[in-house]
Structure 1
Amino acid sequence: MKNIFFVGLCLLTIVSAFGQTNLVIRVEDSLTHEPVIAATIRTVTKPVIGAVTDVNGIARITNLSADVKTLTVSAVGYTTGQFPITTGRDTLVFRLKPEVEAINEVTVTATRTNSRIEDLPIKVEVLGQEDMDEESAVVPGNVSSILGDISIIHIQRTSAVNGNQAIRMQGLDPKYTQILRDGLPLYEGFSGNLGVLQIPPLDLKQVEIIKGSVSTLYGGGAIGGMINIVSKSPTSEKPTFTALINHSGLKENNLNAYYSQRYGKTGLTLFSGYTNQAAVDVTGDGYTDSPQIKQFNFHPKFFYNPTDHTRVNIGYAFTQEHREGGYLPALEGTEPNAYRNITDLQRHTVDFDASHNTSENNSLTLKGAVSTFHRQNTDYRKLSDGRQSSIYLEGNDLVRFGKHQLIAGANLTIEAFRKNPDSTRLVDYTYQTIGGFVQDDWQVGEKVALQAGLRFDHHNTFGNFLLPRLSVKLKPADPWTVRLSVGTGYKTPNLFVNQTPGALNVSLIFPRLLPIDVATVKAEKSVGANMDIAYTKTFESGLSVQVDQAFYYTYVNSPVVSAFASTSSNLGAYTQLINAPYNLFSVGTDTYVRLEYKDYELYLGYNHTLSRRDGPSSPDPTDNSYLPLAPQDKFSTTLAWENEHFRFGIETAYVGTQYLYNNQKVANYWFFAGAAEYHYNDHWRLVLNAENLFNVRQANYETVVSGPITQPTFRPIWAPLEGRIVNLALKFTL
């Protein structure tokens, strides 16, 4: 009897053993593939059996019933996921997605494939939602401040009295940086001359920055780089409302509001903002260092998803602005004959974006924009009055097959300028560009990815352009990534782009401009190369490290520059555009380091750029002059600490080795800023911000304005004019 009982017990044990499973599981970060420590793994049904991962991300589960087919995995900072149990492997690997999507799951729209940033063969830097939320309270009026924090970008002020600014990338003139809004080139020609950086950040989702020549993507202009400003979209059926009020020591007042909500298949975002800034003379020389600005922005956008495969977005943007600078008593009415610079502008834009997924692997997209821009400017008591109408249309087809993402499309750009009666010698023109492009993203293997692109553009005035580009991404070993990119570009001549004067005292004000001689002035062509070596790792202590070392080179043939003309007016010699008798090149390195540990975050950036003329192409072979207003050294750093209710930050920037004309070197300077924020219940934020803490101003080094008050002369602007700026902002989010 005992033998029979023993045999039965053994048989029961064997049957039970065959009905149970022992598992070894490794939990990884889906992006970095680093082990996730202290992740909890458990069964979905009772009885609950589970385990916790060790320092290597490993957990072991024994005696698991064979009926269990799925396990749930959760960890702090990650989205909880369910994973199927597969057989035939010694170790199961489960990958968790980080919970903070704004930092780790960034989708880039500028490349048209809507790929994750870490999957792209081309290097893209993204300022995400968290950055936009912070900037909307620190500097509510525009995005220039946050862009200027990046070491490879230099914000150049182009006017001493009206506050206009432009963007330099990789040491090149501002005209070589292309600006997009939601993937649309809305700021070209006359309409891009003023106000691009007057875009408030409150309704922005992110800003995408692509360094180097990427003209293959959107046509001419992106020789030094491209910046895509992306609007928010509604994400919840619960309403979101944010209101912000700000006041600064420069007599600037901002009132901005943003609303978004989904209603089933439809959605809406709505931004409205008003800026009222008084003219201020900081230096005491009588001229406005900070102009008078009255600006209103209105930006509704409608979203419609009739099916799971189709979406349509339609937006409207309206901007109206009055801007006035010059001799302050003239603005106040006590010196009616003194110098004033007055600008009134109005911008209307209607844009749309429609896409339809014909299958899981094919997507058709049609997008475009129609805009009008009217600008009246009085400078030196001379009126310029013009209107530009612009159209951009694009259709593309994205196909995914195997390891390829292939996109092909065509676009049409129309830019029509019409002059109203004024005192300038400008003439009407209509530019039309028809382009076709194809781009293939090929994941060759686990460690190699390629992106090859080709564009052909036909411009009705300046001819044909063929633009090839090739990018390679290598993953030699975790956590290293290497990206290489070579591309070509072009830039058609345009009187109204953000030009830097080609020589000292050459004026770019509209009353002095002569029309372009299209028979003699040719488009600029370029070739550029970029290389990035990136290291990203999160250690067991919680320390996160990102290091990026970039190298770049750009060469521009026969750049279009402004020069003195043989004719003159009562304001002096006219200005004409010509192809320079020299070429340009820019070569440099850019170093980026970001450290995060618990409540602390540290950013370090250093950029070194050499930009100058290429002498052998010049009549004077010794002419190797540096490009004016292009700093050779820029160092940026940000240190921030945040807890449940407070955030403190300190920013530092160094601008050095900067030249004007004829290789005239100017002083190096440091720039410091600090911000303190108190937030309560995710609803209220109170921010105190101070820019330029030590009051660095160009007037501390030289006289900026000279000559009579009726016709003054202004020095080139190479340093801040306004000095210290302190602002206090209150932000409420529902």
Structure 2
Amino acid sequence: MKENDSIGIEDLDEVIISATRTIRQLSALPLPAQIISKKDIKRSNSVRLNDILNEQTGLITVPDFGGGEGIQLQGLDSQYTLILIDGVPLVGRSAGTLDISRITVGNIKQIEVVKGASSSLYGSDALGGVINIITDTPKKGFNGEVNYRHGTFNNQDLGTAINYKKDKIGLTAFYNRYSSHGYDLNPENSLNTVEPFSNQTANLKLAYELSDYTNAIISGRYYTQNQDYVASETLSGQSDINEWNTHLLFSHKASEKWSGYFEFYATQYQADEYLDDNNGNRFSDSYFKQSLIRPEVRTTYNINDTNSFIGGVGFNHETLDRTDFSTQPEFNAPYIYLQYDGTIFKNFNVILGTRFDSHNAYTSQFSPKAAVRYALNDKIAVKGSVGYGFKAPDFRQLYFDFTNATVGYTVVGYNAVADVISQLETQGEIANVIVPVSEFNQELKPESSISINLGVDYNPLAQLKLGVNLFRNHITNLIDTRIIANKNNGQNVFSYYNINRVYTEGLEFDAIWKFNQNIKIAGGYQLLFAKDRDVIEAFENGYIFARETQGSPSFKLKKGDYFGLYNRSRHMANLKLFYTIPKWNLDFNIRSTYRSQYGLFDSNGNNYLDTYDDFVNGYAIIDLAVNKSLFNNYQIGLGVDNLFDFTDTQNISNIPGTLIYGKLNIQF
């Protein structure tokens, strides 16, 4: 493969492809984006994706009820951030969250984070932004490595990678096994916070140079996990996940101006779990099987060195078969997109893009985006972007039909309401209907957002980079749950509906100071406000009351008493120091993150989060890592995550306390 091919160019430092689907220098991009390099991932000794993303400005991992971890970006829930591997999406959002802890970092070349609505290129689920995990590609020669890490709770991570490239053919192979005995944050409870588990990941990527102008890459990934599933002292079982992806990419350079790409992607995510009682009798079974097939053709046209177009057309075919569904749904969604990226005049870059998504189950979407960057001089540049993002209603929100056998409540997907309510009425289970079934005759609308980002990049010195970004995400047609009927057993029937006027806004500040070749300091801060406009008006109009303590008289709240949406911190920050001592072949780093207080639920009975509610206290996490190279091909490492043993046994399930580990890396 030639060094000036698109794939070869990806090896350059500070080059990003996710923001525009073309090769761009990060420093000249008009969009808020960042790159997490392989070097920084290795130095931190991170083993899972959630470990490394938690240390980035404006990102925080949030555990869901099933124990998985999603990523919150600019105050938007994890369901609004699209997760890609090599430019294609992962599936398996059983409850809206894609668990990023299932992704190993052992074969990651770099991680690209693009903030702000990106549906103009990526369609649904990119309402808040995109995180693209770029995996290793074949490099000339033969080499490999074995990496092993062992730590507290018998956490073990074993990975091995092989690289081979000669003449026209190249190959990378990677295998990882990760396991843990789990942990328990609340000994008074008979259940563990995280049950024992083990998972395995295998990746294979084959590249072949058909000619000087035509290349082919085929890759496959397989992931499997087994975990104990314990629901109570009398109910236990197993939870299994099996996931596979296959990705085929042909690229052809027809001339200096024209390049074409054909991409075919298929993936399937399957989760099965069961519970048995103490006598071995089956209590429950559940399954979740989601598949996605996506072919895409795209082309780039380079008018000259500074102006280009990229366009593409593709088709998404998605199916889901799962427990408690009224049907086996099928989504078919063709799409087309076009983007212009050019320098109108000196130091002024413009990106204009749009995409049209059709769909068999919801309203078609038109997603425009515009971004500009103007370099005032060699040190200061201003940039801004505005884009439309959307998230289609997922299968669960449309077709769910679930009744809790123990408590007795029912949750119904929007499209299943008429049939389920009719059935429950026939069975004599409905006391009264609160929301008429006729209100569900229209389509459940996709959630949408107008995303605005305004920023300044300032490089006062060659070694110092500063950046400030102001952001606002205005979300409409947000999908939420509401009670639509009361049951005779005293429980309720819930379904989904669209609400309006939710927003997140704030600022982000980033700084990188490379004092010299051996010392690097990086840090960031996010200020966030996340609120519902309708709730603000209710506080302003004096409709909301609270009590300071249980039993005390209630009083009227003011607008300033409204804190905002649940599980959002007003302040988050990070600070990292990387220090290398070449003569000792030693690398040391200390990394810290801070999250201010946040509320998880309403504790004073008014259904809103206000300053008189109970909050989770703010906290700081400090991690240390030391790595030393021996005899060129060996490296040993020691580290401590969560140095001061922070835990919150009541509210935070994904921070288990201090983790001490050792690591061995062998290269060949």
Q: 2:524 aligns with which of 584, 589, 605?
A: 605
Q: Separation in 1 of the partners of 2:185 and 2:253?
A: 57
Alignment correspondent of 1:635: 573
The answer to which of 108-117 and 260-269 deviates more is: 108-117
Alignment of 1:242-281 (within 5 A): 242-281=145-184
Change beyond 3 A, Cα 1:475–1:417: same
Alignment of 1:303-318 (within 5 A): 303-318=207-222
Matched letter for residue 445 of structure 2: K
Q: Report how far residue 361 of structure 1 moved.
A: 1.4
Alignment correspondent of 1:594: 512
Contact 1:698 1:720 in 2 (8 A): no
Contact 2:19 2:33 in 1 (8 A): no
Change beyond 3 A, Cα 1:572–1:670: farther
Matched letter for residue 514 of structure 1: V
The C-alpha deviation readout for 1:187-245, integer Å capped at 9, x for no partner, is: 36549755433211111111100011111111022122110111110121x21201111
Alignment correspondent of 1:672: 622
Alignment correspondent of 2:242: 346
Matched letter for residue 143 of structure 1: L
Q: Does 1:729 align with 2:632?
A: no
Change beyond 3 A, Cα 1:274–1:565: farther
The C-alpha deviation readout for 1:65-117, integer Å capped at 9, x for no partner, is: xxxxxxxxxxxxxxxxxxxxxxxxxxxxxxxxxxx997844242452212222
Alignment correspondent of 1:360: 256
Q: 2:54 aligns with which of 125, 148, 159?
A: 148
Q: Does 1:476 align with 2:380?
A: no
Contact 1:480 1:536 in 2 (8 A): yes
Alignment of 1:430-445 (within 5 A): 430-445=330-345
Contact 1:548 1:591 in 2 (8 A): yes
Matched letter for residue 46 of structure 2: V
Matched letter for residue 603 of structure 1: A
Q: Separation in 1 of the partners of 2:229 and 2:345?
A: 58
Change beyond 3 A, Cα 1:536–1:572: farther
Change beyond 3 A, Cα 1:193–1:378: farther
Matched letter for residue 101 of structure 2: L
SS at match of 2:79: helix
Q: Separation in 1 of the partners of 2:655 and 2:643?
A: 13
Change beyond 3 A, Cα 1:614–1:483: same
Q: Report how far residue 349 of structure 1 moved.
A: 1.3
Q: Separation in 1 of the partners of 2:326 and 2:487?
A: 15
SS at match of 2:628: strand
The C-alpha deviation readout for 1:415-457, integer Å capped at 9, x for no partner, is: 10123xx5x2453101111111100001112210100001111
Matched letter for residue 289 of structure 1: T
Q: Report how far residue 564 of structure 1 moved.
A: 4.7
Q: Does 1:626 align with 2:529?
A: no
Q: 2:598 aligns with which of 636, 645, 658?
A: 658
Alignment of 1:563-578 (within 5 A): 563-564=482-483, 566=485, 575-578=494-497
Q: Separation in 2 of the partners of 1:565 and 1:291?
A: 36
Q: Separation in 1 of the partners of 2:238 and 2:567?
A: 25
Alignment correspondent of 1:36: none
Matched letter for residue 242 of structure 2: Q
Q: Over aligned residue pairs, what C-alpha RMSD do you find?
A: 2.9
Contact 2:92 2:269 in 1 (8 A): no
Change beyond 3 A, Cα 1:601–1:389: same
Contact 1:417 1:429 in 2 (8 A): yes
The C-alpha deviation readout for 1:612-670, integer Å capped at 9, x for no partner, is: 11127988866766111111110111112111211111112111131223313321112
Matched letter for residue 191 of structure 2: Y
Contact 1:212 1:529 in 2 (8 A): yes
Q: Report how far residue 720 of structure 1 moved.
A: 4.5
Alignment correspondent of 2:28: 119
Matched letter for residue 394 of structure 1: E
Q: Report how far residue 493 of structure 1 moved.
A: 1.3
Q: Separation in 1 of the partners of 2:501 and 2:647?
A: 33
Contact 1:250 1:290 in 2 (8 A): no
Instruction: Give the unaligned 5+ runs of structure 1.
Output: 1-99, 498-505, 705-716
Q: Separation in 2 of the partners of 1:596 and 1:608?
A: 25
Q: Separation in 2 of the partners of 1:229 and 1:568?
A: 47
Change beyond 3 A, Cα 1:685–1:386: same
Contact 1:426 1:513 in 2 (8 A): no
Q: Report how far residue 368 of structure 1 moved.
A: 2.5
Q: Separation in 2 of the partners of 1:438 and 1:268?
A: 33
Q: 2:394 aligns with which of 469, 494, 515?
A: 494
Q: Separation in 2 of the partners of 1:102 and 1:457?
A: 32
Q: Does 1:583 align with 2:525?
A: no
SS at match of 1:490: strand
The C-alpha deviation readout for 1:322-351, integer Å capped at 9, x for no partner, is: 123546xx6xxxx4x14x574211112111
SS at match of 1:615: helix
Alignment correspondent of 1:527: 450
The C-alpha deviation readout for 1:134-159, integer Å capped at 9, x for no partner, is: 35xx222x111111101210110113
Change beyond 3 A, Cα 1:376–1:564: farther
Alignment correspondent of 1:66: none
Alignment of 1:111-510 (within 5 A): 111-135=20-44, 138-140=45-47, 142-159=48-65, 163-187=67-91, 189-190=93-94, 193=97, 195-236=99-140, 238-285=141-188, 286-326=190-230, 335=233, 337-338=234-235, 340=236, 342-378=238-274, 381-402=283-304, 403-419=306-322, 422=323, 424-495=324-395
Change beyond 3 A, Cα 1:583–1:101: closer
SS at match of 2:153: coil
Using the size of structure 1 for normalisation, the TM-score is 0.75
Q: Separation in 2 of the partners of 1:279 and 1:572?
A: 35
Contact 1:256 1:272 in 2 (8 A): yes
Matched letter for residue 666 of structure 1: V
Q: Report how far residue 577 of structure 1 moved.
A: 2.3
Instruction: Give the unaligned 5+ runs of structure 2.
Output: 1-8, 277-282, 398-403, 416-439, 545-561, 602-607
Alignment correspondent of 1:20: none
SS at match of 1:220: coil
Alignment correspondent of 2:647: 697
The answer to which of 249-258 and 105-114 deviates more is: 105-114
Change beyond 3 A, Cα 1:277–1:106: same
Q: Separation in 1 of the partners of 2:46 and 2:535?
A: 45
The C-alpha deviation readout for 1:291-343, integer Å capped at 9, x for no partner, is: 3111111111110111121111001111111123546xx6xxxx4x14x5742
Q: Separation in 1 of the partners of 2:514 and 2:508?
A: 20
Q: Separation in 2 of the partners of 1:674 and 1:287?
A: 31
Structure with larger Rg:
1
Using the size of structure 2 for normalisation, the TM-score is 0.82
Alignment correspondent of 1:23: none
